[in-house]
Chains A and B, each alone.
Chain A
Amino acid sequence: MPIIDLANPTRFLRFAERALPWLAGLTLLAFAAGLNLTLGAPDDYQQGATVKIMFIHVPSAWLGMGIWALMTIAALGTLVWRHPLADVAAKAAAPVGAAFTLLCLVTGSLWGRPMWGAYWVWDARLTSVLVLFLMYLGVMALWRTVDDPARAGRAAAILTLVGAINLPIIKFSVDWWNTLHQPASVLRLAGPSIHPSILIPLLAMTLAFVLLFLALHLAAMRNEILRRRVRSLMMMQAQTAPGSGS
C-alpha cells in the first residue's frame, strides 16, 4: 500500500520533506564513522598509504554501476508499468550517477599516478567505467535536449535499457581487449582478497556513500516534481492568458 500511495506526487513530496532531514542526519553519522575507520585502517603492504584512496574509489565505482541498475528498473517502470514517478526517479538519478562515476575515474587516476606511474592507464576496469561515464553523459544529453518530460522520459528509458544490455558486453569486450594488450604485469586495482582491516572501513564508507546517494536522489526527485509543476503551471498560464506576455 505505501508504495502505491507514494505514486501520487503530492504524497511523495510530503514523504520526501519528512524523510530528508533524517536521511541527511544518518548520512552525516555514517560518514563520520566511515572516515574515522578509514583513518585507523593500516597501510597496504603493496600500495602503502595510497590504499586510502580505495575507500572513496571503490564505493563510487559500485554506486556508478548500481545507479545504472536503478535507472534500468526505473526504465522498466516507465515503459512497462507506466509508473508516474519512474521517469522522475530515472532523471534525478542520472546526474548523481555521472558524478559518482566521474569521482571513480578521478580517484582511480590519482591512485594510478603513484602506483602505475601514469595518470591514465588503459586498465580494463577503468576503461569500462569510462564508457559507463560516457553513457551517463549521453542519457543526460538526451534529457536536456527535449522539453517535454514524458517524451524525453520514454526515450531515455529505451536508451537506459539498451545500455543495460550493452554494458556487460562492453565490460566483457574491454576485459578481452585488455588481456590482449596486457603490458607485463601491473598492480591491479583492488586485489581479489581483501583483509578485514581494509574491508570493514571500505564497507562503512560504502554504506555512507549509499546513504548519501539516497538523500541526494530523494532531494533531486523532489526538485524534479516541483520543476514539472512549475512547467505545467506556466503552460496553463500561457493557455489561459494569450498575449499577456512572458
Chain B
Amino acid sequence: MTALAALFVRDVRLAIRVGGGGGIGVLFFLIVVTLMPFAIGPDLALLGRIGPAILWLGALLASLLTLDRLLAMDQEDGSLDLMLTGRSPLELAVAAKALAHWLTTGLPLVIAAPLLGLFLNLDLGSSGAVALTLLAGTPALTFIGLIGAALSVTLRRGGLLLAVLVMPLTVPVLIFGVAASNAALVGPLPFGTPFTILCALTLISIVVGTFAAATALRHGME
C-alpha cells in the first residue's frame, strides 16, 4: 500500500514540477473553446444552446492530448519495468498512475470549465452543471485512455494511433455527459437519469480500463 501511495505521490509531484501536462491541457481546452465561435459565428443564443457540447468536446480532445504522457515517460526511464516486476499488483499500480494523471490533467479541465462557460453564454448555474458532469465523466476518459496508452507504450507507437484507438470508445461518455448537461440546462429530462448512467459508465471504465491496461502491459512487455 505504501508503495502505491509513493507511486501516486511521485506521479503527482512529477506532473506539477515538470509541468506541461495539466497546464497544456487547459490551454488546449481554452484554444478549442476560443476557436468555436470563429467557426460557428458569435451568435450568443446559439452558443448558449450548444455550449455544453462544445465544453465536452473540448475536454475530450484535451484529455486525449495529454494521454501519451501517462505511461510513455515511465517506459523511457525504465520505471515501468520496475512496476511490472514489483510486488504490488500491476492493476493497482496502473490505477494509481491513472488517478494521479486525472488529478493533474483531468481536474484542471473541470475547474476551467465554468470559466470557459462564461465565454459561451452559459450562466453560472449551468456552467456549474457542466462542470459537475465533467467531474463525473473525465475519470472515464482517463481510464479509457489508459488502455490506449498501455497499448501504444507496448507497441512503441504513440500519438495519432492512440487517439484513433481510444476515441470510438468514448462515445457513450460523450453522449451521457452532454445529455446530463443539457438536462440540467433546458431538458425535459430529469438531470438524475443521464447523470447516474454517466457515473455508471465511469465506474465501468475504471474497472475495464485498469484490467485491460495491466493485461496489455503484461503481454506487451514479455
Contact = CB atoms under 8 A, between A and B. Distances in A.
Interface stretch (A31-39, A141-149, A205-213, A234-242): A141-149
Nearest to B213: A158
B168 A135 contact: yes
Contact of B171 (A131, A158, A159): A131
A101 B208 CA distance: 26
10 contacts: A135-B168, A138-B168, A142-B151, A145-B157, A154-B220, A166-B172, A166-B208, A169-B204, A170-B168, A173-B172
A172 B194 CA distance: 12
A21 B77 CA distance: 54
A174 interface: yes
Contacts, number: 77
Contacts of B215: 79, 158
A154 B221 CA distance: 11
A22 interface: no
A4 interface: no
A170 B220 contact: no
A14 interface: no
B185 to A, nearest CB: 14
B164 A166 contact: no
Contacts of A174: 171, 175
B216 interface: yes
Contacts of A176: 175-176, 179, 197
Contacts of A177: 175, 179
Q: Is the interface of A mostly helix, strand, loop or mixed?
A: helix
A170 B176 CA distance: 11
B81 to A, nearest CB: 16
Contacts of A79: 215, 219
A141 B171 contact: no
Interface in A167-199: 169-170, 172-174, 176-177, 180
Contacts of A169: 172, 201, 204
Nearest to B200: A169
A99 interface: no
A163 B215 CA distance: 15
Nearest to A128: B171
A142 B165 contact: yes
B154 A166 contact: no
A172 B171 CA distance: 11
The residue in B161, B176, B201 that gathers the most chain A C-beta atoms within 10 A of its C-beta is B161
A173 B154 contact: no
Nearest to B155: A146
A19 interface: no
